[in-house]
């Protein structure tokens, strides 16, 4: 059954998310009242923030925070800085966070935020001023029991430290639990930096086991060598997978015998790019997506696998490290090809799961050893994988719709039990 149609819908993340939600809700025979509640965000905030630049002029930046649902707990979701940020993208990402938290069964709802800016052209001082003013504008809606931001595209541990400090100054007390993804020195969790990539590795292991493959003869191509892609590639390499290709936004690498990802990690740290790495051949980054491999891990941006290239994919397994890398229209093509998809709301949930661990540690004032963080993450990711597969098989749907059904079922049950306050 087609989930979506039309060129605009294919590239609009909110419309694509809505199409998948509707299909899953229909399969669940979801109550129409709950359908209405869950199909729209609970709150959307737009702010226009003045920031003094280093040369003295004032720039006005537009920022968003969308809270999709808070039925199961505080809203949770990242903050991204990019020129392409728009309200529909943030809405979609907030909804995906609701479903992601429900799939791994942690007590959060979904939120997302972003500022339209080009952080590559801004100094650290400008980014700090912008971050602090953005936090101040949202001060009434943020908080450990309200909405807990985290890093996302072009934001990092330092960004979260600025947000935490700004919020704490307004509250007149240190509130570490207001954000996650912080430096360990100010209440961050051990293992958080690698968590999303580790989650990708864990569900990939489960997928190859289910399909009867062995890591040492399973070829992997990873798109994106940022936080998620680099750690996913490194951890898969350490598990014995053959990482044969790495694609970045402007270049790519290929080695049929496997890339030594640890050496590549060190090379990028030293050079700021993977381009020129001596132990692999240069490759076209677009062609790597459709190259001969067993596992493809898109870990970069939305809308990377579309109706234009889905038919050319050769991978048996698609593990979505990024949010929304596959358009809804491409799903039908991949299903016809028999590609085993681990959808984004499961595959990249390692980050928010370990963010939950960080939130718990901050609220307890007791911090866990990294080995314990990783073991808890493994338990939750493998349990969620098993639940999604069970849903897929019992309802005769693909893994993506099964993950949506599982998530929607859990959130809807919470709303139904709580009732509607009127």
pLDDT digits (tens, 9 = 90+) for 230-288: 999 999 999 999 999 999 988 999 999 999 999 999 999 999 999 999 999 999 999 99
Q: Token digits for 85?
A: 């940020």
Q: Taking 50 as the threshold, does the pLDDT of residue 314 lie above it?
A: yes
The candidate with the shortest Cα–Cα distance to 170, out of 195, 141, 191, 194, is 141
What is the average pLDDT across 131-138?
Answer: 98
Long-range contacts of 49-58 (CB under 8 A, 24+ apart): 49/115, 49/130, 49/133, 49/134, 49/137, 50/133, 51/126, 51/129, 51/130, 51/133, 52/129, 53/126, 54/123, 54/125, 54/126
Residue 7 makes CB contacts below 8 A (sequence gap 6+) with none
Give me the chain's average pLDDT, please.
95
- The domain locations on the chain are 44-177, 195-347
The candidate with the shortest Cα–Cα distance to 353, out of 341, 363, 345, is 345
Q: Which residues are catalytic?
A: 112
Q: Taking 50 as the threshold, does the pLDDT of residue 421 lie above it?
A: yes
Residue 376 and residue 265: Cα distance in Å, rounded?
Answer: 26
Cβ atoms of 150 and 161 within 8 Å: the answer is no
Range of weakest confidence among 10-14, 291-295, 401-405: 10-14
Residue 348 makes CB contacts below 8 A (sequence gap 6+) with 100, 196, 199, 200, 228, 299, 320, 321, 322, 323
- For domain 195-347, is the CATH number 3.40.50.720? yes
**The two domains 44-177 and 195-347 share their CATH topology (first three levels equal):** yes
Q: Using CA of residue 411, residue 413, residue 415, residue 418, what is the dihedral sign? A: negative
Long-range contacts of 391-395 (CB under 8 A, 24+ apart): 395/27
pLDDT-derived band at 16 (thresholds 50, 70, 90) equals: confident
Which pLDDT belongs to residue 2?
A: 42
The candidate with the shortest Cα–Cα distance to 79, out of 163, 11, 18, is 163
Q: Taking 90 as the threshold, does the pLDDT of residue 11 lie above it?
A: no
Locus of tokens 């709303």: 415
**CATH classification number, 44-177, choose in 3.40.50.10860, 3.60.15.10, 3.40.50.1000, 3.40.50.2030:** 3.40.50.10860
Cβ atoms of 152 and 116 within 8 Å: the answer is no
- The string of DSSP codes covering 201-249 is HHHHHHHHHHTT--GGG-EEEEE--SHHHHHHHHHHHHTT-EEEEEE-S
pLDDT digits (tens, 9 = 90+) for 141-164: 999 999 999 999 999 999 999 999
Position with higher pLDDT, 420 vs 180: 180
Residue 146 makes CB contacts below 8 A (sequence gap 6+) with 70, 74, 75
Q: Token digits for 86?
A: 């728009």
Which pLDDT belongs to residue 4?
A: 44
Q: Taking 80 as the threshold, does the pLDDT of residue 115 lie above it?
A: yes
Which pLDDT belongs to residue 9?
A: 58
Residue 219 and residue 240: Cα distance in Å, rounded?
Answer: 10
Angle, helices 195-210 vs 350-364, to 10°: value is 130
Which pLDDT belongs to residue 10?
A: 78
Which pLDDT belongs to residue 135?
A: 98
Per-residue buried b or exposed e for 64-90, using 16+ beta carbons within 10 Å of the residue's own CB? bbbbbbbbbbbbbbbbbbbeebbeebb
pLDDT digits (tens, 9 = 90+) for 41-93: 999 999 999 999 999 999 999 999 999 999 999 999 999 999 999 999 999 99
Q: Among residues of the chain, what percentage have pLDDT more than 90? A: 94
What is the average pLDDT across 309-321?
Answer: 97
What is the average pLDDT across 338-346?
Answer: 97
Pairing of strands 219-223, 242-247: parallel
Range of weakest confidence among 11-20, 45-54, 130-139, 264-273: 11-20
What is the average pLDDT across 396-416?
Answer: 97
Which three-class secondary structure state does DSSP give residue 43? Answer: strand
pLDDT-derived band at 8 (thresholds 50, 70, 90) equals: low
What is the average pLDDT across 324-337?
Answer: 93
Q: Taking 50 as the threshold, does the pLDDT of residue 3 lie above it?
A: no
Which pLDDT belongs to residue 249?
A: 87
Secondary structure of 58-117 as H, E, C letters: EEEEEEEEEEEECCCCCEEEEEEEECCCCHHHHHHHHHHHHHHHHHCCCCCEEEEEEEEC
What is the average pLDDT across 158-174?
Answer: 98
Which three-class secondary structure state does DSSP give residue 319? Answer: strand
Secondary structure of 373-421 as H, E, C letters: HHHHHHHHHHHHHHHHHHHHHHHCCCHHHHHHHHHHHHHHHHHHHHCCC
Q: Taking 60 as the threshold, does the pLDDT of residue 1 lie above it?
A: no
């Amino acid at each position: 059954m087609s989930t979506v149609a039309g060129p605009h819908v294919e590239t609009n993340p909110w419309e694509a998310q809505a199409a998948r939600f509707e299909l899953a809700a229909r399969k669940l025979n979801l109550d129409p009242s709950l359908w209405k509640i869950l199909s729209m965000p609970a709150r959307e905030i737009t702010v226009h923030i003045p920031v003094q630049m280093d040369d003295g002029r004032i720039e006005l930046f537009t920022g968003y925070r969308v809270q999709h649902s808070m039925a199961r707990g505080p809203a949770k979701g990242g903050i991204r800085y990019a020129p392409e940020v728009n309200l529909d993208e943030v809405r979609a990402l907030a909804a995906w966070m609701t479903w992601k938290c429900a799939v791994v069964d942690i007590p959060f709802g979904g939120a997302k935020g972003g500022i339209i800016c080009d952080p590559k052209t801004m100094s650290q001082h400008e980014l700090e001023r912008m971050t602090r003013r953005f936090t101040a504008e949202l001060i009434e809606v943020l908080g450990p029991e309200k909405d807990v931001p985290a890093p996302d595209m072009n934001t990092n541990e330092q960004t979260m430290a600025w947000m935490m400090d700004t919020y704490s100054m307004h509250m007149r007390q240190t509130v570490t639990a207001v954000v996650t993804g912080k430096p360990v020195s100010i209440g961050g969790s051990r293992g958080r930096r690698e968590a999303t990539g580790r989650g990708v590795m864990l569900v990939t292991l489960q997928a190859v086991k289910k399909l009867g493959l062995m890591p040492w003869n399973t070829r992997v191509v990873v798109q994106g060598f940022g936080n998620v892609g680099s750690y996913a590639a490194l951890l898969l390499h350490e598990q014995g997978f053959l990482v044969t290709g790495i694609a970045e936004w402007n270049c790519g690498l290929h080695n049929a015998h496997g890339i030594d990802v640890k050496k590549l990690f060190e090379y990028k740290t030293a050079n700021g790019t993977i381009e020129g790495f001596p132990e692999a051949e240069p490759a076209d980054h677009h062609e790597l997506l459709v190259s001969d491999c067993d596992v493809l891990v898109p870990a970069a941006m939305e809308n990377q696998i579309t109706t234009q290239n889905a038919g050319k994919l050769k991978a048996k397994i698609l593990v979505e490290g990024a949010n929304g890398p596959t358009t809804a229209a491409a799903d039908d093509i991949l299903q016809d090809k028999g590609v085993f998809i681990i959808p984004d709301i499961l595959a990249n949930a390692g980050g928010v799961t370990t963010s939950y661990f960080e939130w718990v540690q901050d609220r307890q004032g007791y911090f866990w050893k990294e080995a314990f963080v990783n073991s808890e993450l493994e338990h939750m990711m493998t349990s969620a994988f098993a639940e999604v597969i069970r849903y897929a098989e019992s309802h005769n749907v693909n893994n993506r719709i099964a993950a949506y059904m599982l998530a929607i079922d859990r959130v809807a049950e919470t709303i139904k039990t709580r009732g509607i306050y009127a």
